[in-house]
Structure 1
Amino acid sequence: MDRTTFTIIVAAFAVLVLLAMWLGWRRRSRRDADVIGGVAPTGELVAEFPNAAYVSTTPAGAPMDRVAAPGLRYRGPAVVEVRTDGVTITVAGEQPVHLPAARVLGSGASGPRVGKFVERDGITLLRWLSEGRQLESGFRFVEADDHHRFTAAIDRIAAAPKDSPAPADEQTSTTQEDA
């Protein structure tokens, strides 16, 4: 096999791999298009986190399966506002995501997740419901104090889950330090 043939075969393989990745992302985006919905919370501001790093949103108990919901598709710097009637997440370059307090289940901590590999309990979680699915949105805070303030604020507004309890697995753990 000469060099030209080899180059064409490698280029064709690379194009097929990129096409498969693109088609998979489109399918995932269509699957998760209806995950987000809600009106911007207008209640009293409980806490604001202007320097949060959004990591990813995954189904509860599946930290390596990204949810491609509008506004939460990509990792990046984020502003999180916790209000008495819900949470607003604004990832840089994305539309804000509004979660009513009735859909917020609580907070937690996790180790490695899709999009970020960190130490044990290095990612702070926001657990919430969407269309009958329990989801976890992960954030990374530089200051440990922000982690504790976030946990306290989320636990303050969290609605008690009535139908399905939050899953308890080895990857996630609920923190009750500031509750």
Structure 2
Amino acid sequence: MERVLLTLAIVAFFLLCVFGMWLGWRRKARSQSVQVPPFPSTPSSPEDTGERLLAPAEGLYVSTTRAGHWQDRIVTRGAGLRTSATWRLYEHGVEVERVGAPGFWIPAESLVDIRLDSRIAGKVMATDSLLVFTWKLGDIELDTGFRGDELSVYPQWIEAVQRLAKLAEHGRSDSGEVKGGA
């Protein structure tokens, strides 16, 4: 009888911990839904995306965090779900297609930088094998991290996205608005 009670107490404690984590995740999502605007959806027409610049890359969407705060995961509106993903670079932005979660669009004018990193919320690695896009969404700057299946495509992605970000930066006025095309 004593063993049964001890086992039930351990199971109850475990379930209470899981419930507490679920409540914390929901609370964080609710508070972020006010602070973080919705991610842009992928444009439906080829005129809005522009020409595809690189072959699609496949891998794992790890997470999106506030830029410079690698552990401050954005969880609102499904952004906190780690999923398989395909990302495509177009002349007007980056399409992120996620399996089992909403995809989103990173407009070219929002791109700030791209880099290799070894850590982002949900993944820490010994080598710099995460591809991290830094971009603006409204008034906040975000880092979105991917772990690609083919690491050999990273240099092409870094060069192309940095070129696209520079073109977009040259098109911005001092007020931050875009003048002309990106």
TM-score (normalised: structure 1): 0.79
Cα distance in structure 1, aligned partners of 2:68 and 2:49: 31
Cα distance in structure 1, aligned partners of 2:146 and 2:106: 16
1:115-130 alignment, distance < 5 Å: 115-130=122-137
Q: Which runs of 5+ in 2 are unaligned?
A: 177-182
In structure 2, what is the equivalent of residue 18 of structure 1? 18
1:78-157 alignment, distance < 5 Å: 78-157=85-164
Letter of the structure 2 residue corresponding to residue 135 of structure 1 = L
TM-score (normalised: structure 2): 0.78
Can you list the C-alpha shifts for 1:24-63, whole angstroms capped at 9, x where unaligned?
Answer: 1112222334341255242121123242321111111221
Q: In 1, are the aligned partners of 2:32 and 2:74 still within 8 Å (CA)?
A: yes
- Give the match's secondary structure for 1:37: coil
Q: In 2, are the aligned partners of 1:128 and 1:134 still within 8 Å (CA)?
A: yes
Cα distance in structure 2, aligned partners of 1:58 and 1:145: 25
Cα distance in structure 1, aligned partners of 2:104 and 2:83: 14
Q: Which runs of 5+ in 1 are unaligned?
A: 165-179
Does 1:57 find its partner at 2:60? no
Can you list the C-alpha shifts for 1:67-112, whole angstroms capped at 9, x where unaligned?
Answer: 1143532222211111111111011112220121121111011112
Count of aligned pairs: 164
Q: In 2, are the aligned partners of 1:104 and 1:128 still within 8 Å (CA)?
A: yes
Does 1:5 find its partner at 2:5? yes
The offset of 1:20, in angstroms, is: 0.9
Identical counterparts, % of pairs: 29
Letter of the structure 2 residue corresponding to residue 13 of structure 1 = F
Q: In 1, are the aligned partners of 2:42 and 2:103 still within 8 Å (CA)?
A: no
Cα distance in structure 2, aligned partners of 1:50 and 1:122: 14
In structure 2, what is the equivalent of residue 36 of structure 1? 39
Letter of the structure 2 residue corresponding to residue 123 of structure 1 = L
In structure 2, what is the equivalent of residue 70 of structure 1? 77
The offset of 1:19, in angstroms, is: 0.9
CA RMSD of aligned residues (A): 2.4
Describe the shift of the 1:90–1:39 C-alpha distance in structure 2 as closer, same or farther (beyond 3 A): closer
> Which has the higher mean CA deviation after the structures are superposed, 153-162 or 103-112?
153-162
